Chain A
Amino acid sequence: MTGQTAQNRTILKKLLLVSVLMFGFGYALIPFYKKLCDVTGISKDKITVSNTQMDPARWVTVEFDANLGAKLPWIFEPQTTSLRIHPGEIKQVLYRVVNLTDRTIVGQAIPSYGPALAGAYFKKIACFCFTQQTLKPHEERLMPVQFVVQNDLPKDVHTITLSYTFYEQAKAGAT
């Protein structure tokens, strides 16, 4: 019986080790995926502007949208809600942001695009979303986005929606 128990314990230890390793494997997936995306070039983070010749024959409507992440007590709105542009044309719009609280808050805006595939052709030259924004109590600010839509944008895309969501940066904030 004791021989049996020892054998059982051996399997128990091995399987527990596997469980712990698999727990670690879950965490290892995160750097693994990041590396995979870098190597295969799936990431869309890199900004490479190419073929910026303006195409005057074509019109694209760009719509601007603004959202606030959970519980962020700010006002955040585009000054221009929509714009008709030619692909290849460099344009700038302003967003207004107001901190409604009595504390300093650090925020980070995250862009997204509709349709999602347009993101690859929408190149931002300057953007408040490139860095964190620190707003003092009741500070109001206008923030620019300078962009160009590449003229190899697929022909069936007539409208692009650029949507920003501001999130509070918990660690850097005053809280």
Chain B
Amino acid sequence: MEATHAHGQDHAHDHGHGHPTGLMRWVTTTNHKDIGTLYLWFSFIMLLSGGTLALLIRAELFEPGMQIMRPEFFNQLTTMHGLIMVFGAIMPAFVGFANWQVPMMIGAPDMAFPRMNNWSFWLLPVAASLLIGSFFVPGGASAGGWTMYAPLFLQGGISNDMTIFAVHILGISSIMGAINIVTTILNLRAPGMTLMKMPLFVWTWLITAYLLIAVMPVLAGAVTMLLTDRHFGTSFFNAAGGGDPVMFQHIFWFFGHPEVYIMILPAFGIISQIIPTFSRKPLFGYASMVYATSSIAILSFMVWAHHMFTVGLPTAAQLFFMYATMLIAIPTGVKVFNWIATMWKGSMTFETPMLFAIAFVCLFTIGGFSGLVLAITPVDIQLQDTYYVVAHFHYVLVSGALFSIFAGVYFWLPKWTGHMYDEKLGKLHFWLSTIFFNVLFFPMHFLGLAGMPRRIPDYALQFADWNKVASIGAFGFGLSQLILLVVVLKCIKGGVKAEGRAWEGADSLEWTHLPSPAPYHTFETPPTVN
């Protein structure tokens, strides 16, 4: 423990010499690689927790009628599944990648604020305990949907306060993490690493970090207003006191829409590293990728009301938000075409990271198209709160964000552990995930078009067949994720020794300048980039 006091204020990298071991190593660590590992494991545990809730949902929906739970518990499941997956699984996983990769990719010794980095992580388990613990308080967990809409969220028990507090903590963690990433990227790049030479993963994270700093405080404000409405007599959203529940939706989605890009831009970055590597060609249209990412980020602030087409917006507003939303398809299309052009005439090989990346491009695009369908106001009014919406956002968040995380894990595992993962098991994980994913979510398009509402524990008989199919897909998909756990554990324990440049086509600094596994301290003297 004395070692924690040993290092001076500005010499976080001295920390490695005689640092604590065992549990205290992880609690006190300021090393970006340790913290990246913590983030990734935390995210995996949350993925399994949120996934378990999802499987309970699908078990109830396996057949029409009420079988295994009370409806109010079902509502708690859908709410907590959303919150845990968004804030516990997807976002921390990307921050984990940023911690591991950003310093290595720009030739920096560590993050700019190593101690703040430690805090950013250790706030997460606190928030997660509040969320999961809220299942056990009187009245059960929050049940008003992950969007926490007023007026439902103004009612209800103490679990709503726990959720609000958890969101505050998660917000603080995200803001600190984002400030750290921005500062690292702006100040700690190796000599010669100009902004336009940065790997695209670093670029996407720089833009994502700015988005986080801009919108997480708005969410914190919105939930603070909920809290004061609940307990301190304010009436921001309380109709009885002159407030307006729709106002909450406006503020929430001002955060919420950039939030969906916070969850997908780093995914674009990971995919933009992997596809060139396994196509053995430089990324097609690097500069246009950077501009496309920036324009998506800017546009994301102008489309929030497309989540609220049914609240009674004036026609002019509906038209504006419809066209603005459709405009996002242009920079996103630029990206998809660039990835395809990168693969064009490349010497492609199909290792697991590449398979996940290709599945990402195909399936994310399906999610993008169903998003365009939902952008059309009259169609959205028909499909609002149906399973079509559920299908849409799971195509972008599961086969989009989550698949990119899988791809990234397989891609960088050799660098992190020094061993190659088991390719056979990796491919098995890929094929089972991709097939079951489609069995799970594709039928939801049909259910939604046929009018099945979301967040309801029971349904009319005509929806029975596709729900059964989706539930089978859900259990297949959920269980397949255990293969990932096996692959990662096997890879940590041993396996074929990975070379420094484990992938033939990889050309960023962590592959060209560092051995595998990457040493605990890297780039203490910065490399020179030409």
Contacts and interface: CB of A to CB of B under 8 A. Distances in A.
A60 to B, nearest CB: 21
Contacts of B254: 26, 29
Contact of B221 (A11, A23, A168, A169): A23
A110 B215 CA distance: 32
Interface in A2-22: 2, 4-5, 7-8, 11-12, 15-16, 18-22
A174 interface: no
Given A70-B155, A169-B241, A11 B182 contact: yes
B220 interface: yes
19 contacts: A2-B10, A8-B183, A11-B179, A12-B183, A15-B182, A15-B183, A16-B179, A18-B213, A19-B216, A22-B221, A26-B219, A26-B254, A29-B247, A29-B251, A33-B247, A69-B240, A108-B241, A110-B240, A169-B240
B238 interface: yes
B183 A167 contact: no
A118 B239 CA distance: 20
B123 to A, nearest CB: 15
A115 to B, nearest CB: 11
A131 interface: no
Contact of A167 (B186, B221, B225, B240): B240
A30 B236 contact: yes
B355 interface: no
A40 interface: yes
Given A8-B112, A27-B225, A33 B250 contact: yes
Interface of B: 10-11, 112-113, 155, 175, 178-179, 182-183, 186-188, 213-222, 225, 233, 236, 238-241, 247, 250-251, 254, 312, 314
A19 B217 contact: yes
Given A26-B218, A110-B239, A171-B233, 9 more contacts: A15-B213, A16-B179, A19-B213, A23-B217, A25-B221, A26-B254, A29-B247, A110-B240, A116-B312
Q: Is chain A's binding surface mostly helix, strand, loop or mixed?
A: helix
The 10 A-B pairs at the shortest CB distance, nearest first, are namely A26-B221, A167-B240, A22-B217, A23-B217, A26-B218, A15-B179, A11-B183, A8-B112, A110-B239, A70-B155
Contacts of B113: 8, 12
B217 A42 contact: no
B207 to A, nearest CB: 14
B218 A22 contact: yes
Contacts of B187: 4, 7-8, 11
Most buried by B among A15, A18, A20, A169: A15
A57 interface: no
B312 A18 contact: no
Interface in A107-166: 108, 110, 116, 165
Contacts of B186: 11
Contacts of B218: 22-23, 25-26
Given A12-B179, A12-B183, A22 B213 contact: yes
A133 to B, nearest CB: 12
Interface string A15-49: 11011111111110110010000001010000000
B171 to A, nearest CB: 9
Nearest to B242: A108
Nearest to B214: A22
Contacts of B112: 8, 11
A20 B457 CA distance: 41
Nearest to B183: A11
A25 B222 CA distance: 10
B165 to A, nearest CB: 16
A20 B221 contact: no
B251 A26 contact: yes
A26 B253 CA distance: 11
Most buried by B among A11, A20, A22: A22
A27 B218 CA distance: 8
